[in-house]
Chains A and B, each alone.
Chain A
């Protein structure tokens, strides 16, 4: 059963690649529709963020990172963490409305609805790649680029798959359960502050280290820092936990979406 599902899903995806492309374009344009600057804004945001971090943390607060961390450049350290987090948070939160916001498409046209959350993930990926480009420029200017960047080939796909799984999960849940959006927003605040983005994982007291170890986003964030800043690699247990979470999120999300999909048009 699972194999045929995957087969039909992939066939569907290739058959609808033009739809997917148009949905992604629509999503990208939608953010900047009516604005004169258009796509330039997606470059402006991360640059401004980077400049502000530098001002606040390095100039005003003169924050010194714990020597255990392995780098002294706090803005870059922060930027490496915040990029994967934003990719994740944006994808999951926006996926929540992927089905409900497109109820006209679901109830009045024959659209393979699993594509809608995929389009959101991929459109966020475009923004993520823009952010990564700016990070690379900043690294060239203030740091250096090392072969360790190849680790990204491991962490980026995991990030995408994890976010996609949760995206499917919340988008189908939200059809039946409109509280999902609110619950998710609350959850995301917790999740963000319990993920070492603004602080190094090394500073977390020992009694809370388990919390970091089982948090897939914590592993992904430190994975990104390995890739860009050559910081210490997450341990094998952490990687295993991350793999487990990712697989579970993807399978549960896909299964729930698949099972609840026939009911979408009836409820919307």
Chain B
């Protein structure tokens, strides 16, 4: 028997001119309508077995969260039938139903009783909830004294300790610190092994890949693709990437390449696809500098010259930074800093450091500088480029402009990555027969007589 069985469920939001129109319609016996329809979810069908993990991906507004809310029973589908056999614990929004004035403990009891737990059943679970949430004595303090992280941990801890048959998680994994995220993922894997059915929405494709057996790709309310995660995620990524390239601004001026790019790994045809001068900066968190030069655009491009929103570890990535000089700059230098999502510097470089001094610029000059690399095998997640243009040498310079976190790039793992990064490795193992180790008198080395070795 399947735990969740959804048959062609659709949710139509009625867009009302005013809330009172809504009431008129609910109370109307004639069936007169007072709205215009908006289909948030359309004809989605699926069945879920015990212990199965379903990932739901898609762009913002594609109906992912609506679908989860329907399955959780919070909103009713307009059409179609939904059958759920089991207790659902839903984390639709972290800490919904939590009251900031009350202590953690009081909130645990209230939340548990919404799921039908008696106080004694809840009391039995309190120690393990406290342990998982790692909030210590804060459990007896009002929630308003909690940090965001503690709040998130408590909410997640409560949701997973209430013996759900079905656990529904909406984007909750992307909050909280990295360690807690990892613990959540491990816990979800454990629950899955114990037979809990899991449904989750995430933009974190790495998490989807590592958790979901099956993935539904939602697109404008419809299930565009439904199948094994390894089939769906790459198709989704490809669609997102091609979509991203369409959004790149058109060329404004065509200039001369300062340096031949033939040996950079990007073919001339591919380079032709990249606008010579980028005029869009996707994001600016913070900006400073003396204003002598302006960073007009930054973009990441693939070997084929397509704009990248995400890349796989080790892929060739070309970062193009376009600069306009507003005043003469004697010895310009362009570079970037790469940061992870925690804001920690991962690496950085600049043209001068790479042995590519730029010519003096006059006011009005425009240049584009490309940094092409095999992207390091960093663990999956979002990474941010902060471009900069300066005037001077490596040791002594005036910053013309620095933009914090101007460009984001999502990195997808090509293989499991332990820790922060994966390093290409060669491994050699040697079997050493017992008793044959002998130390040379003074040197601390040892040899074996008949080494049998394996090499990787």
Contacts and interface: CB of A to CB of B under 8 A. Distances in A.
B422 interface: no
A259 B13 contact: no
A43 to B, nearest CB: 22
A19 B96 contact: no
B163 interface: no
A260 interface: yes
Interface in B72-112: 72-76, 88, 90, 92-93, 96-97, 99, 101-102, 106, 109-111
Contacts of A15: 116
Contact of A108 (B27, B93, B110): B93
A176 B99 contact: no
A107 B20 CA distance: 19
A262 B11 CA distance: 13
A23 interface: yes
B26 A259 contact: yes
Contact of B96 (A26, A105, A263, A267): A105
B114 A19 contact: yes
Contacts, number: 92
Contacts of A259: 26-27
B72 A110 contact: yes
Interface in A66-112: 104-111
Interface residues of A, number: 33
A147 interface: no
A109 B26 contact: no
Given A22-B110, A108-B90, A176-B19, A16 B26 contact: no
Contacts of B75: 107, 265-266
Contacts of B69: 107, 265
B117 A266 contact: no
Interface string A243-262: 00000000000001001101
Given A23-B110, A29-B102, A110-B114, A105 B97 contact: yes
Contacts of B20: 176-177
B102 A26 contact: yes
A37 interface: no
A19 B97 CA distance: 12
25 contacts: A16-B116, A18-B116, A18-B117, A18-B118, A22-B113, A26-B102, A26-B106, A29-B102, A29-B106, A30-B99, A33-B142, A105-B96, A105-B97, A105-B114, A106-B74, A107-B69, A107-B92, A108-B97, A109-B111, A110-B73, A110-B88, A173-B23, A176-B23, A177-B19, A260-B23
Interface of B: 13-14, 19-20, 22-23, 26-27, 69, 72-76, 88, 90, 92-93, 96-97, 99, 101-102, 106, 109-111, 113-114, 116-119, 142
